[in-house]
Chains A and B, each alone.
Chain A
Amino acid sequence: DTGVSQNPRHKITKRGQNVTFRCDPISEHNRLYWYRQTLGQGPEFLTYFQNEAQLEKSRLLSDRFSAERPKGSFSTLEIQRTEQGDSAMYLCASSLMLSPYEQYFGPGTRLTVT
């Protein structure tokens, strides 16, 4: 399977704990995006990378959130001191730089903060 993969698929954590999610994009894609989706809503943009450079961050991305893409391949999204409001599906997508709006999404990581 050469699609976008995300791990873990599900994560349950207690409030205050740190969590980290991983995204492996389609190998030739140089753009990588993170979105968050809560129940009944469409996905909301969080941040995106072109290769290893983080080019844009949403105001939704509080100081507790950090994303990296160290070698321009896989990416990690870390949430520190989780809160119940962080419970959501975290989606990763990738695209070619020349087709930024044709994004291929992974299955998501569902985070539940108890």
Chain B
Amino acid sequence: DAKTTQPNSMESNEEEPVHLPCNHSTISGTDYIHWYRQLPSQGPEYVIHGLTSNVNNRMASLAIAEDRKSSTLILHRATLRDAAVYYCILTSGNAGNMLTFGGGTRLMVKP
């Protein structure tokens, strides 16, 4: 199974952009890149996903490297409410339908 590598933690200042990196050097051609986040004392929350092209939605943007071996989740203006653990997850139609969570990146946002 393709794995992901994320920094354990990152810090950001409120109202500044945040770039959360994820390495997935063994990604296969059919793997999608998903991002979830988990706020304190809550279940995980879907953020965004993509395959090859960059993606934008109301929560965030996903920038995918041309070789797909890495991706970056971009929060355009961090708020205190964005403090959470962010998980980068690869999914494949051949691997069942579970999400395989790693350790994620704990994002701390300073006022």
Contacts and interface: CB of A to CB of B under 8 A. Distances in A.
Interface of A: 4, 31, 33, 35, 41-45, 48, 55-56, 58, 91, 93, 95, 100-108
Given A33-B99, A102-B49, 14 more contacts: A31-B97, A41-B103, A43-B101, A45-B100, A48-B96, A93-B43, A95-B97, A101-B49, A101-B97, A101-B99, A103-B46, A103-B99, A105-B42, A105-B43
Contacts of A42: 85, 87, 101-104
Nearest to B32: A101
B16 interface: no
Given A42-B101, A48-B98, A58-B98, A101 B44 contact: no
Contact of B98 (A41, A56, A102, A104): A56
Contact of A43 (B34, B44, B97): B44
B98 A45 contact: yes
Contacts of A107: 41-43
Interface of B: 32, 34, 41-46, 49, 85, 87, 91, 96-104
A6 to B, nearest CB: 8
A29 to B, nearest CB: 12
B90 to A, nearest CB: 10
A7 B103 CA distance: 26
A101 B102 contact: no
B28 to A, nearest CB: 15
28 contacts: A4-B43, A33-B97, A33-B98, A35-B99, A41-B103, A42-B85, A42-B104, A43-B44, A43-B99, A43-B101, A44-B101, A48-B96, A48-B97, A56-B97, A58-B98, A93-B44, A100-B97, A101-B32, A101-B34, A101-B91, A101-B97, A101-B99, A102-B49, A104-B46, A105-B44, A106-B43, A108-B42, A108-B43
A33 B98 CA distance: 8
B106 to A, nearest CB: 10
Contacts of A33: 97-99
